[in-house]
């Protein structure tokens, strides 16, 4: 049974995978057992979550090539209409189950273990597809993604010229001209594909129903570091004062001088080690969740 990072990436060692993660290098691990990932998720679990109403509709997205299907097409009286969803799947849409680790115990345990190992935010989603097309157009993600093919097949293309160290909120970019595939393969059940953040990719549904899990890993970055600093500065009287309610240019200049002096002192006193330690305490790594980006329809990328 897969319950930790070591068993997930076997036969690759845990240290080897963490090196890939740190260096953001694309990697493919062919499956030795087509049923390998079924202990994490299977069709029965997803059907139960949908039929029972356990899985929240707010976390379910129905997509095709980056276009969302309106909920009134597949929701009746506040519940998913299985027949409507089945018809949509036959037409090539994808169902995306965001934050699925909150509702699938085996996935939750795995994400918690990876979060403890990496000290980063980790969560999981599932993508169910069928027919021609894909959930999204060619795109890149700001999170590192571990793709686990559970059932069926899916054709993945990953391209050259990745965006280096992308972060949520950065200006949206279009694919560069001259992109060529550096990975072009049909994933089979049991296969694992590591797609680092910034790599352009596109998926094509296989001929039959397909199911894969995406485990996303998001490290803190310099912006998080600065946001923590700004949060602390907001406790300082100098930074809480209005910038517009001064009686003279001299008063404005004095306020500017005080702000700069306070900022310099705060930067000199800040510690990256302390920031990471405080972050670990204030954001317990068990059950941490990504804040989904609005620029990609609030979905994990497929």
What confidence score (pLDDT) does residue 115 get?
Answer: 94
Express each pLDDT in 138-154 by its tens digit.
889 999 999 999 999 99
Q: What is the strand order of the sheet 144-151 is part of?
A: 27-29, 192-195, 144-151, 210-218, 121-129, 94-97, 60-64, 67-68
What confidence score (pLDDT) does residue 169 get?
Answer: 84
What confidence score (pLDDT) does residue 87 get?
Answer: 85
What confidence score (pLDDT) does residue 293 get?
Answer: 33
Do the beta carbons of residue 205 and residue 92 sit within 8 Å? yes
pTM, to two decimals: 0.85
CATH number, domain 5-219+284-296: 2.60.120.650
What confidence score (pLDDT) does residue 155 get?
Answer: 93
What confidence score (pLDDT) does residue 283 get?
Answer: 59
Q: Point out which residues pair with 151 in neighbouring strands.
A: 211
Domain boundaries, the chain: 5-219+284-296, 222-270
What confidence score (pLDDT) does residue 63 get?
Answer: 84
What confidence score (pLDDT) does residue 286 get?
Answer: 42
Express each pLDDT in 225-247 by its tens digit.
999 899 889 899 999 999 999 99
Q: How far apart are CA 72 and CA 91, in angstroms?
A: 17
What confidence score (pLDDT) does residue 121 get?
Answer: 93
CA angle, residues 52, 56, 60, in degrees to nearest 5 = 110
- The list of the chain residues with pLDDT below 50 reads 285-301
What confidence score (pLDDT) does residue 170 get?
Answer: 85
Do the beta carbons of residue 210 and residue 302 sit within 8 Å? no
The closest alpha carbon to 197, from 276, 113, 290, 266, belongs to: 290
């Amino acid at each position: 049974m897969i319950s930790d990072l070591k068993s997930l990436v076997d036969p690759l060692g845990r240290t080897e995978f963490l090196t890939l993660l740190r260096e953001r290098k694309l990697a493919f691990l062919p499956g030795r057992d087509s049923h390998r990932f079924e202990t994490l998720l299977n069709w029965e679990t997803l059907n139960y979550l949908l039929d029972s109403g356990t899985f929240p509709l707010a976390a379910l997205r129905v997509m095709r090539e980056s276009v969302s299907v309106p909920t009134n097409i597949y929701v009746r009286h506040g519940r998913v209409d299985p027949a409507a969803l089945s018809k949509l799947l036959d037409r090539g849409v994808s169902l995306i189950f965001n934050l699925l680790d909150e509702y699938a115990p085996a996935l939750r345990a795995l994400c918690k273990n990876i979060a403890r190992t990496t000290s980063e935010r980790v969560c999981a989603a599932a993508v169910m597809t069928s027919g021609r097309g894909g959930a999204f157009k060619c795109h890149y993600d700001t999170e590192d993604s571990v793709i686990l093919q559970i059932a069926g097949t899916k054709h993945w293309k990953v391209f050259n010229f990745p965006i280096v160290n992308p972060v949520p909120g950065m200006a949206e970019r279009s694919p560069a001209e001259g992109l060529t595939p550096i990975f072009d393969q049909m994933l089979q059940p049991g296969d694992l594909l590591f797609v680092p953040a910034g790599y352009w990719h596109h998926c094509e549904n296989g001929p039959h129903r397909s199911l894969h899990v995406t485990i996303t890993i998001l490290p803190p970055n310099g912006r998080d570091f600065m946001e923590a600093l700004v949060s602390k500065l907001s406790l300082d009287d100098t930074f809480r004062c209005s910038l517009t309610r001064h009686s003279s240019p001299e008063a404005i200049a004095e306020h500017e001088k005080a702000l700069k002096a306070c900022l310099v002192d705060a930067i000199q006193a800040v510690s990256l080690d302390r920031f990471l330690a405080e972050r670990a305490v204030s954001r317990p790594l068990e059950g941490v969740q990504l804040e989904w980006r609005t620029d990609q329809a609030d979905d994990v990328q497929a």
